[in-house]
Amino acid sequence: MPAPLFPAPGPKRELEEGTVLTPRFGPDGLITAVAIDADTSEVLMVAHMNDAALKKTLETNEVWYWSRSRGELWHKGDTSGQIQTLVEMRIDCDQDALLLKVRVAGDGGCCHTGRRSCFYRVVEIDGSGRLRPPQSP
């Protein structure tokens, strides 16, 4: 078995108040990562990292995810030019979610549909279960 890339999570106090990165990957080996625009704070996308993707992100300062659909490491922007440069990373209290403050290269977009953010549709909160029609990419 290869050596783990990060130390194992410690007790609650260390997990929440400590100064060692001990990410809690889920049963699928993944941790949730939320990417926001470093300048505007706009939420751009939610994706996932495995231990190797997190390691590469910290080593290169460019964001790597784990593509669940393709089952492979995903250097975001490799084909689209929409490279995400990491400005700041934060981790939450129980170390099972990451916040990535990024600057996006290329045309500045994040979503494969052509929009800047993946969150381009509003859910009507009238209980109708409708989405407000999205603007074109």
Separation between Cα atoms, residue 85 and residue 78, nearest integer Å: 12
Binding residue for its own copies, selected from 46, 72, 81, 107, defined by CB under 8 A? 46
CB 1 → its own copies: shortest distance, Å? 20
Binding residue for its own copies, selected from 10, 16, 52, 78, defined by CB under 8 A? 16
42 belongs to the binding site for its own copies (CB under 8 A): yes
Q: Distances from the Cα of 38 to the Cαs of 12, 29, 99, 100, 102, in angstroms?
A: 30, 27, 11, 8, 5
Separation between Cα atoms, residue 11 and residue 97, nearest integer Å: 17
Binding residue for its own copies, selected from 41, 70, 71, 79, defined by CB under 8 A? 41
52 belongs to the binding site for its own copies (CB under 8 A): no
Query: Which positions from 90 through 109 interact with its own copies, judged by CB under 8 A?
Result: 90-93, 97-99
Reading the block at residue 82, the tokens are 């929409």
Nearest to 98 by CA among 67, 74, 63, 59: 63
Nearer to its own copies, 73 or 87 (CB): 87
